[in-house]
Amino acid sequence: MAEAFLGLGGNVGCVRANLEAARQSLAARGVDIRGLSSLYRTEPWGRADQPEFLNQVLRVETELAPRELLELCQQVERDVGRGSRDRWGPREVDVDLLLYDDEVIQEADLQVPHPRLAQRRFVLVPLAELAPARRHPTEGRTVAELLEEVTDERGVERAREI
């Protein structure tokens, strides 16, 4: 079994329901969710002309290889209703493979760890909630250290429960 961390996010439609549907879809397909962060309201990354996001990180165990897990994440996005792939644009759901054990993979369509993980406060905050002592395989620093050093100033706050 491999330990992986997945980033979930969305800002279109009923986002809480979309994130729940993504979690259920992953679990129904053999991904064992072992931990989930709180939900966080976050300012958009890349394009400011869109609604704020809800983001969350999952700690999972899986027998899937990294590429298989990536393909499953993409299938879950489609199943939940993700529309266009406009880079950094609005989306019903996004499921990103952030970390997979301590592996480093650099392929055209698969990069682990996620190439912008250390630059994004909206990923580091929920990841630090789950695994602050986890070392980034290429940066060599813990998630907590990366969070202290991140220059991203976008707002990230815990979402209120409803």
Q: How many CA atoms lie within 13 A of 117 on its CB side?
A: 30
pLDDT average, residue stretch 130-145: 97
Model pLDDT, residue 114: 95
Burial of 86 (0-12, 13-18, 19+ CB in 10 A): exposed
Query: What residue numbers bound the domain in which 127 lies?
Result: 2-158
User: How many domains does the chain divide into?
Assistant: 1
Token pair 């992953």: residue: 26
Does the pLDDT value for residue 85 go beyond 80? Answer: no
Q: What CATH number is given to the structural domain containing 28?
A: 3.30.70.560
pLDDT average, residue stretch 120-143: 96
Active site positions, annotated: 82, 91, 94, 96
Which pTM was predicted? 0.94
